[in-house]
Structure 1
Amino acid sequence: MNKVDSGIVIFDIDGTLTDSVEQHQRAFEIALRTFSFPNLRTNWGDYTHHTDSAIFEEAWEEAHYESRPDLSELEYQYRCALEHEIASRPFTEITGAAVFLQWLKDHSWSVVFATGSLRFGAVKKLAAVGVDAEKVDLVTASEFRTREEIVREAIRLGSKKFPAAHKHSVISIGDGLWDLKAANNLNLPFIGIGRDAKAKVLTDLGAPVFDNFINLMNNGIGLFR
């Protein structure tokens, strides 16, 4: 990855900034099951697009329902389920996430958040790292179906605040294979956050990976200079 002075950093949220994957997935499955899908597949990585809205639409098509998928009802059911989940297990940050976000701000990087989660969940997760979703650029699966669409919109929003940014100064940070694939499809540099088996999936594909943001700041901050 070439070093750059500043630009746009696009963050995934679940598993990247917040330890929230388990709560999110439980709430999402509960919400999906309210639609009585006859054969709901719960290996989310097997769906064509790894976003909440795309998974919902694909499950709807597989059920051969005649009506159109009701995303607003999914949003409502997800909100109810997620509030229950986080009441018993609140979201926590991935170590150093808030510090690193502040470092980027202090060094004039434009930060944008792009997630395959529905918007309500994304707002709650950002709050766990001290980010007010009303004051930042956030793109979610409530607005777009695919990771690539979500990231493209994030770049567009980030570019409005940083007009000089171009491809070599846009960096994507995520924890999942789908984050890396979207970055590769859009020809973006990628940095992984993760450990153990999750990290190995990314490192095997050539991505630099750090187990948390303190480690990134101690050993990989040159990627941002």
Structure 2
Amino acid sequence: MKKTKLLIFDIDGTLIDSVSGYHEVIINAMTDLGIENIDTDFNALKHHTDSYALKYNYENFFDKELPADLLDQFENLIVTYLKTQPKTIAIKGVDKILNQLRDSEYAFAFATGSLPESAILKMKSAGLEMNAALLATSKTSFSREGFVLEAIEKAKSYYNLAEFEQIISVGDGIWDLKTAQNLNLEFIGIGTKNKAVMEANGMECWFEDFTNFEISNSCVS
């Protein structure tokens, strides 16, 4: 079926249950890079992304600009530590909905605050297929707005479309909602953890997981 609309999926907490233990991985990777006094309140940072967490903590501790090549080292360390962690778990109903979307008018892409290799590893660990050509990450942009826009452009190129008729962002956090609002994208929330704060900030469409996930006119315009 011809693709005319686009869903942009966040990954951690949205498609996979990977948040538990992941902060420890990030902290261990930063420690291996010589960073001390790490600010672990990642949710409070200007950008809720792995690359910005590194930039913020590195520059605060060493009082100098983050070297360009350090992001690669950081990514490699994250992958090494992830391989020692338990397998990630797919959010209920994800595999089914992704398969259904492949035969629908909806294209989909992925936009994550993780780095590419760690995102691919976590999805694979959960048994989910992901086309790397449709993946945008914080390796190319510290801000979520930056890599969400990149995901849109990657999807246009992959599906050979100049524009999509509709673009919907799907995420589990207030940072996902705010990014969608900043980019004038429609939004669907997933999961109970951040439901209250997302509703307080204007979220209108929400599902606990993907078991009953659907896109309807009553949910998004």
| Fold equivalence (TM over 0.5) | yes
CA RMSD of aligned residues (A): 2.1
Identity of aligned residues (%): 33
For 1:97-116, list aligned pairs within 5 A.
Answer: 97-116=94-113
- Measure how far apart 1:186 and its partner are: 0.4
The answer to whether the 8 A contact 2:92-2:209 is kept is yes
Report the secondary structure of 2:184's partner residue.
Answer: coil
Are 1:179 and 2:176 matched, yes or no?
A: yes
State the alpha-carbon separation in 1 of the partners of residues 105 and 46 from structure 2.
36
The equivalent of 1:92 in structure 2 is: 89
State the alpha-carbon separation in 2 of the partners of residues 193 and 199 from structure 1.
8
For 1:8-157, list aligned pairs within 5 A.
Answer: 8-66=6-64, 68-69=66-67, 70-85=70-85, 89-127=86-124, 128-134=126-132, 136-157=133-154
The equivalent of 2:200 in structure 1 is: 204
Query: What are the superposed Cα offsets for residues 166-206 of structure 1, whole Å, 9 maximum, x if unpaired?
Result: 4x6000000011111111110100000011x4111112222
- Measure how far apart 1:105 and its partner are: 1.3
Amino acid across the alignment from 2:75: E
What runs of 5+ residues in structure 2 fail to find an aligned partner?
Answer: none
- Give the structure, 1 or 2, with the largest relative contact order (CA under 8 Å, sep 6 or more): 1
Report the secondary structure of 1:144's partner residue.
Answer: coil
Amino acid across the alignment from 2:94: A
Question: Judging changes above 3 Å, is the alpha-carbon distance between structure 1 residues 174 and 58 closer, same or farther for their aligned structure 2 residues?
Answer: same
What TM-score, normalized to structure 2?
Answer: 0.88
- Measure how far apart 1:68 and its partner are: 3.6
Report the secondary structure of 2:178's partner residue.
Answer: helix
- Measure how far apart 1:109 and its partner are: 1.4
Amino acid across the alignment from 1:204: A
The answer to whether the 8 A contact 2:59-2:66 is kept is no
Higher helix content, 1 or 2? 1
Amino acid across the alignment from 1:30: N
Question: Judging changes above 3 Å, is the alpha-carbon distance between structure 1 residues 130 and 66 closer, same or farther for their aligned structure 2 residues?
Answer: closer
The answer to whether the 8 A contact 1:17-1:93 is kept is yes
The answer to whether the 8 A contact 1:47-1:55 is kept is yes
- Measure how far apart 1:30 and its partner are: 1.1
Deviates more, 1:56-65 or 1:156-165: 156-165
Report the secondary structure of 1:49's partner residue.
Answer: coil
When the two structures are aligned, how many residues end up with a matched partner?
A: 213
Question: Judging changes above 3 Å, is the alpha-carbon distance between structure 1 residues 30 and 38 closer, same or farther for their aligned structure 2 residues?
Answer: closer
What TM-score, normalized to structure 1?
Answer: 0.87
- Measure how far apart 1:6 and its partner are: 4.2
Amino acid across the alignment from 2:197: V
- Measure how far apart 1:129 and its partner are: 4.4
Report the secondary structure of 2:52's partner residue.
Answer: helix
The equivalent of 2:155 in structure 1 is: 158
The answer to whether the 8 A contact 2:7-2:106 is kept is yes
The answer to whether the 8 A contact 1:20-1:92 is kept is yes
